[in-house]
Amino acid sequence: MLLMRLTAKKSLMTCPCCPSNINNLDNFFDAANARKEAQHYLKKGLDKRARKLIAYLLTHCRDPISVLDIGCGAGGAHLELLRQGVASHALGVDASSGYLAAAQANAAQLNLSDRVTYHHHDFAQTAASFAPADAVLMDRVICCYPHLAQLLGAAAEHAERYLCLSFPRDEWWSRPPYRVVDFFQTLFRSKYRFYLHPRSQVVAVAQAGGLRLIHTDRTFFWQIMVFARPQPFKDRANQHPPSVETPG
Ligand SMILES: C[S@@+](CC[C@H](N)C(=O)[O-])C[C@H]1O[C@@H](n2cnc3c(N)ncnc32)[C@H](O)[C@@H]1O
């Protein structure tokens, strides 16, 4: 399966509104896999990692919140928050058109289309076009992107109250498998790479964005972190970042 994805045909269209297509995201995260993940969510619900990612929001948010899901994939995390009434509305951004189409189809299937919008962009490159949200989600996203400070820094700046992250655990035993995967990617001339960003760097970038680590959890493979803004933008008169229109 992995090898099939690594050798995915280069003839797939690249995203016209995603000029960089950094790390070949639009091709690697293709429509066929997106449909499978979307179906899996409809049939079985969220997997363990994603359940842990949103658990803090489910238990601590009393009023409905706005959600910005960066690298939203097939949309399970924000659709679940909408479905459970924790989110009032959501915005999903992804560099993969196939995954966005699958998320859109699932939103329609769950009668949530009127509360969610999707944008096909590389968030690191277009962050200034998006308004902040109460909660920013990034589930398995930073490991797909080479420029941690650019992507995570922009995400942190858009988190009014919470930033919920999952990323691969950086342990001595998790590094060798990455090297093996890298080897096969090079062998099959895939332009896609995984990035094992050190935990300390992840925390430092989020903290530089004014956030504080308030909750951690993990699965065997994934680290979960929830950061909070000690003083949400809304409470700070005259200090709200410029709220600009989302791109069409
Ligand atoms: C492994 S998938 C995870 C999808 C979803 N969050 C989940 O956990 O099911 C990573 C997703 O992040 C997206 N992604 C990575 N970097 C991105 C960026 N800079 N801007 C927008 N999307 C990005 C990829 O296109 C891909 O759909």
Name which residue sits closest to atom 8 of ligand 1, judged by CA. 139
| pLDDT band (50, 70, 90) for residue 20 | low
Of the candidates 154, 158, 110, 116, the one whose C-alpha atom is nearest the C-alpha of residue 134 is: 158
| Gyration radius from the chain CA atoms | 17
Report the atom number in ligand 1 closest to the C-alpha of 144.
15
What pLDDT, on the 0 to 100 scale, is given for residue 12? 30
What pLDDT, on the 0 to 100 scale, is given for residue 235? 66
Asked if residue 51 has pLDDT above 80, the reply is: yes
Check if the beta carbon of residue 128 is closer than 8 Å to that of residue 93.
no
What pLDDT, on the 0 to 100 scale, is given for residue 11? 29
Task: Dump pLDDT digits (tens) for 62-95.
Answer: 999 999 999 999 999 999 999 999 999 999 999 9
In angstroms, what is the span from residue 142 Cα to ligand 1's centroid? 8
Of the candidates 141, 145, 196, the one whose C-alpha atom is nearest the C-alpha of residue 173 is: 196
Phi, psi angles (nearest 5°) of residue 166: -130, 140
| pLDDT band (50, 70, 90) for residue 2 | very low
What pLDDT, on the 0 to 100 scale, is given for residue 136? 98
Task: Dump pLDDT digits (tens) for 179-209.
Answer: 888 888 888 888 888 899 999 999 999 999 9
Asked if residue 152 has pLDDT above 90, the reply is: yes
Check if the beta carbon of residue 64 is closer than 8 Å to that of residue 90.
no
The 10 Å Cβ neighbour count of residue 146 is 13
What pLDDT, on the 0 to 100 scale, is given for residue 177? 84
Of the candidates 241, 180, 185, the one whose C-alpha atom is nearest the C-alpha of residue 210 is: 241
What pLDDT, on the 0 to 100 scale, is given for residue 184? 85
Residue 211, token pair as written in the block? 């956030």
DSSP per-residue string spanning 16-52? TT-SS-GGGHHHHS-HHHHHHHHHHHHHH---HHHHH
Q: Which of 51, 126, 144, 152 to mutate to test the pocket of ligand 1 (most atoms within 8 A of CB)?
A: 144
In angstroms, what is the span from residue 123 Cα to ligand 1's centroid? 10
Q: What residues contact 102, with CB distance under 8 A and at least 6 apart?
A: 31, 34, 35, 37, 38, 73, 74, 75
- Bridge partners (DSSP) listed for residue 217: 224
Check if the beta carbon of residue 229 is closer than 8 Å to that of residue 209.
no
All domains of the chain, ordered by start, with CATH? 21-228 (3.40.50.150)
| pLDDT band (50, 70, 90) for residue 47 | very high
List, chain by chain if needed, residues with CB within 6 Å of any ligand 1 atom.
25, 29, 71-74, 76, 93-96, 99, 122-124, 139-141, 144-145, 151
The length of the chain in residues reads 248
What pLDDT, on the 0 to 100 scale, is given for residue 188? 82
User: pTM, whole model, 2 decimals?
Assistant: 0.88
In angstroms, what is the span from residue 24 Cα to ligand 1's centroid? 11
Question: Among 20-34, 208-222, 226-240, which stretch is predicted with the lowest mean pLDDT?
Answer: 226-240
Residue 229, token pair as written in the block? 């803004």
Tell me, what amino acid is at 116? V
